Amino acid sequence: MKKTILTSAFAIAIAFTACKNKTNPENADNSSTQQTENNDAASTSTTPANEPKSYSVTFSPDTAYLGKNKEAFIRLKNGKAVELSDADGKITGTELSYEIEVTNKKKMGDGSVYVNPSQFRLALDNGNNITHDNYNSVSADAESTNSSVDNKFRLPAGSKPKSLNLFMDETRVTVGVEMK
């Protein structure tokens, strides 16, 4: 019984608070001021102050052939980056994620192609090369395509990606990386 009364009182208090913010038609001269205040409140409510800054990541070129006989056609797509921060709001780095799509160019019956992103290196603008924080290997049977998602690099604070070096079967391709 007490829980029902407390719940009802709480719901009524919320309803009164919500109704209090509505404009009154009798106060027509204050309506423009109230509308601007409401518009400001609406714009701040749609974008929270603590939302992390995010970027789109583009690769140029976004496709490459790897392997001694160019048997693996790789497409890099869905690149995104999000700034990471600690509890105090201090930027601790950036997490860059992307998807790898591998197409096996071998003829039927010639076997599969295996791409291991642990061998990839991301070159930063400060001259350092880093490895994946998280990755998923991908293989594709002959004349088929397969994808690998949730591949992530963790960039140190204040650094930007410059290029991504892709390695497979003693071959290497360098792809430019840009955060916008």
**Model confidence pLDDT, tens digit, residues 108-164:** 989 999 999 999 999 999 999 999 999 999 999 999 999 999 999 999 999 999 999
pTM of the complete model: 0.69
Q: Nearest 5°: CA angle at 161, between 159 and 162?
A: 120
Token pair for residue 139?
A: 């293989």
Q: What integer best gives the mean pLDDT of the chain?
A: 84
Q: How much is the pLDDT for 52?
A: 84
Long-range pairs for 137-142 at CB < 8 Å and ≥24 separation? Answer: 138/100, 138/102, 138/114, 139/102, 139/112, 139/113, 139/114, 139/115, 140/72, 140/102, 140/103, 140/104, 140/112, 140/113, 141/104, 141/112, 142/104, 142/106, 142/107, 142/108, 142/109, 142/110, 142/111, 142/112
Q: What is the pLDDT of residue 9?
A: 66
Mean pLDDT (whole number) for 5-15 = 66
Give the pLDDT mean for 81-89.
92
pLDDT at 24 over 80: no
Structurally, at CATH architecture level, domain 54-179 sits in Sandwich (2.60)
Quickly state the pLDDT bin for 36 (edges 50, 70, 90).
very low
What percentage of the chain reaches a pLDDT higher than 70? 73
Mean of pLDDT values over 95-100: 97
Nearest CA among 153, 150, 136, 146 for reference residue 101:
146
